Amino acid sequence: MPILPLSPQVFSILSSLVAEHAGLTFDAAHMPVFAEKVAARAAEQGFESLLDYYYFLRYDRGGADEMAALIETLVVGETYFFRELPPLEAVVTHTLAPAVASGRRPRVWCAACATGEEPLTLAILLASRAMLDGVEIVASDINGASLERARTGRHSRRALRQDMPPFAERWMRQTPAGLEVNQRLRDAISWRRVNLIDDAAVSALGTFDVVICRNVLIYFSDEIARRVIDRLTARLEPGGILVVGVSESLLRFGGALVCEEKDGTFLYRRPA
């Protein structure tokens, strides 16, 4: 397949279009990987130049669908079971368990769930404490193909990078092909395709006691990350908790959330 050349000028307009659509930010250092993925996709679709591809994405009636497909090739869907487990345990113990005990059905949104290992880990934690039915879990991602995969409940071997914790053994099993998660857990999660840049789609989800958005802000510029954090904050109930990745401190963004330490992990609370 011929590789289409990408000039700095076309890189600039194409990468801006991608950032506008999905928040993903590619600077000059990322140009080679961006060029490779975009050129491969454009050539596969029959385009002979990346400028033509840009005009198609921007102005053609089929541009929106093609942009969605391009975004799927550009995102990094790296995830695995029990990744950064302590913050999930902390929200279960300190936010969800007390809410369930008080007779409420708290809502959790896992906002960039890739192939589902993260919300499924949360579901396993809840199930192991007999709280699965007491909590509503919404899991979303921009990548439709990842969500399709999540719905199957079948995961590759790489989705488990440690020994299976004893509390999980009842809920997932190792198969020759990888891992399979109990259907009750998959059915307990409402899987949605949501772009974090899309205000209307995010608002339509309602409000949550806990929003988990981990290992995605790192792909956005600071300006876009700040806007996404504001959107997520607006989705929190007063007193609600935002969980970000362990390498994604929000302190430099300022904002309305208050950082709290719980069981050695950092959580961000919207003041009540």
**83 lines the binding site for ligand SAM (CB under 6 A):** yes
Closest separation between CB of residue 135 and ligand SAM, Å? 18
Q: Which residues are registered as beta bridge partners of 136?
A: 107
Closest separation between CB of residue 197 and ligand SAM, Å? 5
Q: Which of 36, 78, 199, 222 binds ligand SAM (CB under 6 A)?
A: 78
Closest separation between CB of residue 76 and ligand SAM, Å? 5
Q: Give the 3-state DSSP-derived string for the chain, with helices as H, strands as E and coil as C.
A: CCCCCCCHHHHHHHHHHHHHHHCECCCHHHHHHHHHHHHHHHHHCCCCCHHHHHHHHHHCCCHHHHHHHHHHHHCCCCCCCCCCHHHHHHHHHHHHHHHHHCCCCCEEEECCCCCCHHHHHHHHHHHHCCCHHHCEEEEEECCHHHHHHHHHCEEEHHHCCCCCCHHHCCCEEEECCEEEECHHHHHCEEEEECCCCCHHHHHCCCCEEEEEECCCHHHECHHHHHHHHHHHHHCEEEEEEEEECCCCCCHHHCCCCEEEEECCEEEEECCC
Closest separation between CB of residue 215 and ligand SAM, Å? 4
Report the alpha-carbon distance of residue 101 to residue 109 in Å, rounded: 20
Closest separation between CB of residue 232 and ligand SAM, Å? 11
Closest separation between CB of residue 192 and ligand SAM, Å? 10
Q: Do 70 and 18 meet the contact criterion of CB atoms below 8 Å apart?
A: yes
Q: Which of 4, 38, 67, 79 binds ligand SAM (CB under 6 A)?
A: 79
Closest separation between CB of residue 52 and ligand SAM, Å? 25
Candidates 62-70, 89-97, 127-135, 212-220; binding stretch for ligand SAM (CB under 6 A)? 212-220
Q: Which of 6, 10, 14, 22 binds ligand SAM (CB under 6 A)?
A: 22
Candidates 1-9, 33-41, 164-172, 209-217; binding stretch for ligand SAM (CB under 6 A)? 209-217
**195 lines the binding site for ligand SAM (CB under 6 A):** yes
**96 lines the binding site for ligand SAM (CB under 6 A):** no
Candidates 46-54, 141-149, 170-178, 250-258; binding stretch for ligand SAM (CB under 6 A)? 141-149
Interface ranges with ligand SAM (CB under 6 A) = 22-24, 75-79, 83, 112-114, 118, 141-143, 146, 195-197, 214-216, 219, 245
